[in-house]
């Protein structure tokens, strides 16, 4: 139970200190540390990353959502194809999905050219892949549950009854 | 020409919060722990229902007592959550905030000269409400050593056995105290024995972190002498929509409705649609907000202990009530910490008897701001105490 609570708080903000998490959950600090270690050891928590609003940065960062259709045969399954694709560092996320296409792939690069080249030279030629549809991300409004853009000001009065 | 103000208006002093508000206005880096309202937006489904009702042009008055479907939903909700049975046709009135309901009750039940006992510290509007209605206030202090719970001894000491009416507010603004069933039982007995009408403001009922909320109206023989107030401002984060309600015996609600129909006509229509949706489908949103408040509560309590300020273990609402360190009055502390550190807190004195020497800290503020505000309070205490 406490592990679950710690997990929720880490998802909210992975940079909460163990001391802060202990204060919020009424656990001891070493209990929080143990819970986090357990979550990491069992692979429930696989890593920690920053949620970035790239629009706020000068550097261009190009991202695309790519729909992939594949044809399976007796020797090749979804897992085989996914393994091959997931190894590319350009691929930030890869999911098998239900619906009109099979895989949903997030790709990142420094330029549209780089991303396009990656898709046409590395992804499309994979023999099982029958079709790719690339959607370039134009603006991101929400990432990992966090709304991007200017935080709204608190318009409440500083004192109220 | 100057207006000749009524004695009633002149008797009521200006709000104790006003002066602090002016100081806060001078700075632009103030973190406010002085707010008595949620920092969350109204759950989206409720907002959407309000928008849809506007799009459909539903902007006329409703029935005086509020839409019938909303009253039914309220009846189901209080039955389900608090084990209270009220008839939507005769025993419920929907008002413009719990504030209006409280005012209606004072005007409907208080005659000039009547005595209204108020368990304090408590929400600041009861006392003026009684005075505006021509009644007299009898403060019944509660104390930190009793966990700010009201006791029969406290009632007797204050002379509440002679009063006509008793006002309760649990979970309490400003202390965060709650009254579990076993503590309410003797109070209920006292009210029956001394024939007191009870006004029970339960607007923070959902925000109870330790056990379940019990309403005093659920005790034997209490329903017939109690008016329960509740509303959507706190648990459903709907302060600006102005929607509350009162529950009580048919004749009492009819009397309140008599005033309401001439002064307010009906509660805001748009807000009634939002409220209906809030009761229908926003239970999970409420639960999520409550769990966020609970985490912040534990965080704030634990930080005050680290800072070395004695703090009462608040178990309800979204306030905690630490003691100011020696050498300060609550007013001085609140003013200095606002001027020097830009942290807005409310001195306990404004909430009446028993509140002095304390600060009301609201944790209806995001964790990052809470962390920063408490660091600033810590710096202030390290320097001065
Ligand atoms: C105890 C209490 N009752 C009533 C209110 C006012 O509620 P409403 O917004 O429903 O008028 C408040 C607001 O701070 C409160 O703290």
Residue at A64 is within a domain: yes
Look at chain A and count its residues.
161
> Which residue in the block uniquely carries the two structure tokens 């790719």?
A132
Domain holding A133, by residue range, is 54-143
Assigned domain for A150 exists: no
**Average pLDDT in chain B:** 96
Angle at A35 between CA A34 and CA A39, to 5 degrees: 115
Q: Tokens 């969350």 identify what position? A: B40
Contact assessment for residue B234 and residue B38, using Cβ atoms and an 8 Å cutoff: yes
Q: Residue A158: closest CA among chain B residues belongs to which residue?
A: B32
pLDDT digits (tens, 9 = 90+) for B311-334: 999 999 999 999 999 999 999 999
With CB atoms and an 8 Å threshold, state whether A154 touches B32.
Answer: yes
Contact at 8 Å (CB) between B92 and B253? yes
Mean of pLDDT over chain A: 94
| Dist. CA B242 → ligand 1 center (Å) | 10
Res B361 pLDDT > 90: yes
Based on the number of CB atoms within 10 Å of its own CB, is B180 exposed (0-12), middle (13-18) or buried (19 or more)?
Answer: middle
Report the pLDDT averaged over residues B168-197: 98
**In a shared domain, residues A17 and A96:** no
- Band the pLDDT of A23: cuts 50, 70, 90: very high
Could you say which of A23, A24, A158 has the minimum Cβ distance to residue B35? A158
Residues 6 or more apart whose CB falls under 8 angstroms from that of B361 comprise: B33, B300, B304, B319, B320, B321, B322, B345
Residue B231 has pLDDT above 80, yes or no: yes
Q: Indicate which CATH number applies to the domain containing A63.
A: 3.30.70.920
pLDDT, average across residues B85-109: 98
Q: Contact, B78 vs B87, CB < 8 A?
A: no
A64 shares a domain with A33 = no
Closest CA to B132 of B2, B7, B263, B265: B7
- A25 and A66, same domain (yes or no): no
What ipTM did this prediction achieve?
0.87
Task: Report the residue of chain B nearest A25, measured CA to CA.
Answer: B295
Same-domain check for residues A59 and A124: yes
Rounded to whole angstroms, the Cα distance separating B344 from B364 reads 13
Q: How many domains does chain A have?
A: 2
Q: Are A79 and A37 part of one and the same domain?
A: no
- Of B237, B231, B229, which Cα lies nearest the Cα of B45? B237
Is the model's pLDDT at A150 over the cut of 90? Answer: no
Give the three-state DSSP class for A94: strand
Which residue in B27, B32, B126, B293 has the most chain A C-beta atoms within 10 A of its own C-beta, making it the best mutation to test that interface? Answer: B32
Output DSSP code: residue B209. Answer: -
Are B69 and B53 in contact, with CB atoms under 8 Å apart? no
- Measure the CA dihedral A149/B35/B382/B26, to 10°: 80
Kindly give the residue spans of alpha helices, DSSP state H, lying in B194-265.
250-263
- Give the mean pLDDT of B211-230: 97
Beta bridge mates, A91: A107
Q: Name the DSSP class of B346.
A: E
Q: In this complex, which of B32, B123, B299 lies closest to A20 when CB atoms are compared?
A: B299
- Per-residue three-class SS string for A43-91: CCCCCCCCCCCHHHCCCCCEEEEEEEEECCCCCCCHHHHHHHHHCCCCE
- Same domain (yes/no): A62, A85: yes
Q: A5 Cβ partners below 8 Å, 6+ apart?
A: A25
Mutation for A interface: B350, B367, B374, B375, most A CBs within 10 A: B367
Q: Who lines ligand 1 at CB under 6 A?
A: A 161; B 36, 97-99, 123, 169, 173, 201, 203, 231, 233, 239, 244
Residue A1 has pLDDT above 90, yes or no: no
Tell me, yes or no, whether A160 lies in a domain.
no
Of B306, B52, B379, B92, nearest to A17 (Cα)? B306
Residues A102 and A23 placed together within one structural domain of the fold: no
Q: How confident is the model at residue B298 (pLDDT cuts 50, 70, 90)?
A: very high
Question: Cβ distance B215 to B82 under 8 Å?
Answer: yes
pLDDT band at B19 (very low <50, low <70, confident <90, very high): confident
| Tally of helices (H runs) and strands (E runs) in chain B | 13, 12
Please state, in angstroms and rounded to a whole number, the distance separating the CA atoms of residues B102 and B99: 5
B160: pLDDT strictly greater than 70: yes
Angle, CA B185 vertex, CA B183 and CA B190 arms, to 5°: 110
Are A59 and A116 contained in the same domain? yes
Q: Is residue A133 part of a domain?
A: yes
**Could you tell me which of B270, B358, B336, B318 has the C-alpha nearest to residue B23?**
B336
Q: Looking at the structure, do residues A68 and A33 belong to the same domain, yes or no?
A: no
CA B276 to ligand 1 center in whole angstroms: 19
CATH code where residue A24 lies? 1.10.10
Same domain, A61 and A107: yes
Q: What is the mean pLDDT of residues B35-44?
A: 96
Q: Are residues A127 and A70 part of one domain?
A: yes
Over residues A71-93, mean pLDDT: 95
Q: Are residues A33 and A74 in the same domain?
A: no
Question: Distance, CA B202 to ligand 1 centroid (Å)?
Answer: 9
Nearest to B184 by CA among B212, B143, B164: B212
- pLDDT on residue B21: 87
Question: What pTM, to 2 d.p., does this model score?
Answer: 0.93
- According to the model, what pLDDT value does residue A153 have? 75
B174 CA to middle of ligand 1, Å? 11
Does A125 map to a domain? yes
- Whether A151 maps to a domain, the answer reads no
* Strand-pair category, B115-120 with A146-147: unpaired
Find, in chain A, the residue whose alpha carbon is nearest to that of B303.
Answer: A23
Separation between Cα atoms, residue A150 and residue B7, nearest integer Å: 50
Dist. CA A55–CA A52, nearest whole Å: 9
Q: CB-based contact (8 Å) between B24 and chain A?
A: yes
Per-residue pLDDT for A60 more than 90?
Answer: no
A132 in any annotated domain: yes
Is residue A67 pLDDT above 70, yes or no? yes
Name the percent of chain A in helix, strand, coil, to the closest 5.
35, 20, 45
Separation CA A100–CA A68 (nearest Å): 10
């Amino acid at each position: 139970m406490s592990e679950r609570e710690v997990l929720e708080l880490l998802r909210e903000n992975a940079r909460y200190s163990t001391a802060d998490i202990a204060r919020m959950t009424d656990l001891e600090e070493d209990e929080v540390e143990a819970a986090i270690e357990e979550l990491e050891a069992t692979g429930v928590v696989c890593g920690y990353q920053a949620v970035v609003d790239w629009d706020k940065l000068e550097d261009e960062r190009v991202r695309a959502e790519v729909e992939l259709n594949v044809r399976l045969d007796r020797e090749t399954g979804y897992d085989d194809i996914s393994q091959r694709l997931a190894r590319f560092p350009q691929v930030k996320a890869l999911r098998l999905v239900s619906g009109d296409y099979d895989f949903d792939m997030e790709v990142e690069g420094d330029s549209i050219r780089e991303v396009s080249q990656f898709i046409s030279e590395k992804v499309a030629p994979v023999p099982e892949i029958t079709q790719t549809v690339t959607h370039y991300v134009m603006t991101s409004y929400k990432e990992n549950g966090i709304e991007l853009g200017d935080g709204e000001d608190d318009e409440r009065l500083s004192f109220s009854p | 020409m100057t207006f000749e103000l009524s004695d009633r208006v002149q008797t009521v002093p200006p709000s104790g919060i006003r002066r602090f508000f002016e100081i806060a206005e001078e700075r632009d880096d103030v973190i406010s722990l002085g707010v008595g309202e949620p920092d969350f937006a109204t759950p989206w489904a409720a907002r959407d229902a309000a928008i849809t009702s506007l799009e459909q042009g539903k902007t006329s008055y409703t029935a005086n007592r509020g839409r019938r479907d909303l009253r039914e939903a309220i009846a189901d909700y209080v039955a389900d959550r608090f084990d209270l049975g009220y008839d939507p046709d005769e025993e419920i009135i929907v008002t413009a905030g719990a504030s209006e309901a409280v005012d209606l009750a004072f005007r409907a039940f208080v005659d000039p000269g009547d005595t209204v006992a108020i368990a304090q510290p408590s929400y600041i509007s009861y006392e003026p409400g009684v005075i505006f209605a021509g009644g007299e206030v009898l403060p019944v202090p509660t104390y930190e050593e009793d966990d700010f719970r009201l006791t029969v001894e406290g009632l007797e000491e204050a002379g509440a056995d002679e009063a006509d009416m008793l006002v309760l507010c649990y979970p309490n603004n400003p202390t965060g105290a709650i009254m579990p069933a076993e503590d309410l039982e003797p109070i209920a007995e006292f009210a029956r024995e001394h024939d007191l009408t009870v006004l029970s403001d339960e607007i923070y009922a959902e925000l109870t972190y330790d056990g379940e909320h019990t309403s005093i109206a659920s005790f034997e023989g209490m329903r017939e002498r109690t008016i329960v107030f509740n509303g959507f401002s706190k648990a459903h984060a709907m302060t600006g929509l102005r929607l509350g309600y009162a529950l009580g015996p048919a004749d009492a609600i009819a009397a309140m409705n008599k005033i309401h129909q001439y002064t307010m006509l009906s509660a805001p229509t748009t807000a009634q649609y939002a409220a209906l949706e809030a009761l229908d489908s926003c239970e999970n949103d409420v639960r999520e907000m409550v769990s966020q408040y609970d985490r912040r509560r534990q965080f704030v309590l634990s930080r005050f202990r680290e800072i070395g300020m004695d703090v009462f273990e608040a178990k309800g609402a979204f306030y905690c009530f630490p003691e100011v360190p020696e050498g300060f009055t609550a007013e001085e502390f609140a003013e200095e910490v606002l001027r020097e550190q830009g942290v807005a807190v409310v001195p306990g004195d404004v909430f009446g008897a028993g509140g002095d020497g304390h600060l009301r800290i609201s944790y209806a503020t995001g964790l990052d701001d809470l962390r920063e505000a408490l660091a600033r309070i810590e710096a202030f205490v390290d320097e001065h105490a």
